[in-house]
Structure 1
Amino acid sequence: MRCFFSSILVLILIGCASAPLPLKKMNGVSFVASRDTISQQHVQPVVQLNANYAAIMPFGFIKELEHPEIIHNTERQWYGETRSGAKQYIETLKSEGIKIMIKPQIWVWRGEFTGLIKMNTEEDWKTLETSYTDFILEYAALAEETNSELFCIGTELENFIAARPEFWKGLITKVREIYNGKLTYASNWDEYKRTPFWKEIDYIGIDAYFPLSDKQAPTVKDYIEGWSKHKPQIEAWSKQLNKPILFTEYGYRNMDYAGREPWLSDHKIKTLNLEAQANATEALFEVFWHEPWFAGGFVWKWFHNYENSGGQGDNQFTPQNKPAEEVIRTYYKTYK
């Protein structure tokens, strides 16, 4: 009888060993800075989403694409965009078990694309380098102070990187001198192969707004087929550099043609298509979340005032109070 039960136990253990458990991922939200402080009440919807990470995004501002000075951490900014606001957000989220990526970002006046920032003179480049270093090191120090798990050294700054690659490598060294956590950079979806410093940081960060379908209302299958053009290249890049891929941003609008140019944030677009957003979100999880070389991602974007955010009449990126939120909740629970 003892031998019989021993045999059964061995079979059970073999069966368990042959069924791999889901991989734990960074199941993140891009937590939008607001005018106000936050409380546990504002964090509970993040917890209920089964998220385990939040990106905190303090902002610096530039007047125009050729302007070299970054204005940041001033009284004229919203509370959540400043150092003290970011710290308060981090501490409140951490008190509820949410880990943190600090992701300082630049806003160019009138919302022009940050990847086009480019100086006209050597003097202006040096001024920009000094200003950007001050901006980034201020928040790297905050990351260390708050024991934040991940720090992002920049977001979608391709021209700046292409023109000044040695500056960026030096900046990474300076950040490492004051911050002991992991580092990433948020490259645009069509930029990541040209980013020169992946070997110096820990995660290949991609803002994953890849074009996937020209259809008005793509199915999950349509979106998965759209990823077939991009996924092999992403995986090959990860394996070539021996670095995990992290989607520092991902998300879709609930509108017609949501997969055609997913980066569009034009408020003139008025169509509503909740299914298109939910299908795109489901497809992304099906394609990436099970892969061992994929670290996870941060949905764009999540507002603190949950009850008044998103909803079925809103066609912007947030999944809040839309069918896509339930898709995220389900997959985040599986890979938590």
Structure 2
Amino acid sequence: MGIVFRFLCLVSLCFMLSCSATVERPGKINGVSYVASRDSIDQQHVDPVINLGANYAAIMPFGFIKDLAHPEITFNSDRQWFGETEKGVKQYVQLLHNNQIKVMLKPQIWVWRGEFTGFIKMTHEADWKLLENSYSDFILAYAKVAQEANVEMFCIGTELENFIDERPSYWKQLIVDIREIYKGKLTYAANWNEYERTPFWDDLDYIGIDAYFPVDSKQSPTLEDTKKAWRKYKSEMKTYSIKHKKPILFTEFGYRSIDFAGRAPWTVDRVDKQVNLEAQAILTQALFEELWDEDWFAGGFVWKWFHKHNAVGGRDDNRFSPQNKPAEEVIRTFYKKYKL
């Protein structure tokens, strides 16, 4: 009974927030990380994105490597899901654009067994060269797709800290090569504890951060405690933004609907921990209240959004998606306040 009561109270709070949202704020990038599917998408798969108030979607084609020391990336193959291929990307982008939703194309690497991409590291110089050549093939192919599809923003990589630490000159030249092909805005998706040592922000348009900052260690966080925890990170990001004269963009943000969701928000393991819808909603609300009104902050992309809206999320789901949970209404409230 207690869980049901808290759920109903949270829905009522979101409704009151929505009703009080009469003042329109400066525009932000209000994005979703749109998960690739096996099939093409149609209007029924885009309508929930529109209903959320989103004005941007991150489209994420994948390239695959066998292990953390393997230098060759496989991509755009017949064995991949439609949405992970060049053809699928173009179909998704066209339909989103037809609905006035802008796109960030965000090609990503998947390591076999889901190992963290930041740990990718070669053991020999020859392998580093092979990795550089393979990554260039991958990212420049999608830069070309981005240009042909008139994509508004392109993300040059996601959480590749070892690769960047070890090969900074390669990345500087890669940005030059990308700009010869693609004429839109560029960013990189740095992990939350990586962005301050990423060496090429001055060559990009946005400082991109996958914002899985630890903000609360309790089983069920409170709004005020979480907002207070954000202020340290917020101060650091503001200083960094001013230093580089670039806006901060959350290339990913979000929380699981699970106990202790704010303690290590990057955790993706499949666990049977207690579903905690309230924790996800409170953590999400705190992030919006602390950041979305800042002029140095450009907005962000919630992690993550599936195309079959009615078939995912819900009150028994402890994963990241906010769909069909109280957190979805929190996002909708703020997205509609901060329209571009």
- For the aligned pair, the TM-score class normalised by the smaller chain equals over 0.9
1:17 is matched with none
Asked whether 1:32 is paired with 2:39, we answer: no
Where does residue 160 of structure 1 map in the other structure? 163
| Other-structure match for 1:279 | 282
Task: Give the Cα–Cα distance (whole angstroms) in 1 for the partners of residues 198 and 169 of structure 2.
Answer: 12
Residues 236-275 of structure 1 mapped to structure 2, 5 A cutoff: 236-275=239-278
Deviation digits for residues 160-192 of structure 1 (CA, Å, limit 9, x no counterpart)? 000000000000000000110000000000000
Tell me the equivalent position of 2:18: none
Gap regions ≥5 residues in structure 2: 1-22
Partner of residue 69 from structure 2, selected from 48, 66, 71: 66
Residue in structure 1 matching 2:291, options 288, 293, 313: 288
What is the rounded CA distance, in whole Å, between the counterparts of 1:90 and 1:219 in structure 2?
Answer: 38
Q: 2 CA distance for matches of 1:225 and 1:182?
A: 32
Name the residue aligned to 1:7: none
- Structure 1 counterpart of 2:145, which letter? L
| 2:304 corresponding residue in structure 1 | 301
Deviations 1:25-53 (A, max 9, x none): 00000000010100011000000000000
Aligned-residue offset at 1:270? 2.4
Question: Does residue 1:92 correspond to 2:95, yes or no?
Answer: yes
Aligned residues: 317
- Cα deviation, residue 268, structure 1: 1.8
Letter in 2 for 1:313: D
Give the equivalent residue in structure 1 for 2:175: 172
CA shift, 1:209, in A, is 0.1
- What aligned pairs does 1:80-229 form with structure 2 within 5 A after superposition? 80-229=83-232
Partners of 2:229 and 2:91 in 1: CA distance: 40
* 2:55 alignment partner in structure 1: 52
Q: Is the contact between residue 208 and residue 250 of structure 2 (CA under 8 Å) also seen in structure 1?
A: yes
1:173-220 CA-to-partner distances (Å, cap 9, x unmatched) read 000001100000000000000100000000000000000011110111
In 2: Cα distance, 1:137 partner to 1:25 partner = 28
Q: 1:148 to 1:220 in 2, by over 3 A?
A: same
In the TM superposition, what is the alpha-carbon distance from 1:21 to its structure 2 partner? 5.6
Bigger radius of gyration: 1
One-letter amino acid matched to 2:99: E
1:5-20 matches, within 5 Å, as: none
Secondary structure of 2:334's counterpart equals helix
Moved over 3 A (4+): none
Identity rate, percent: 64
Measure, in 1, the Cα distance between the counterparts of 2:44 and 2:97.
13
Which has the higher relative contact order, 1 or 2, with Cα contacts under 8 A spaced 6 or more apart? Answer: 2
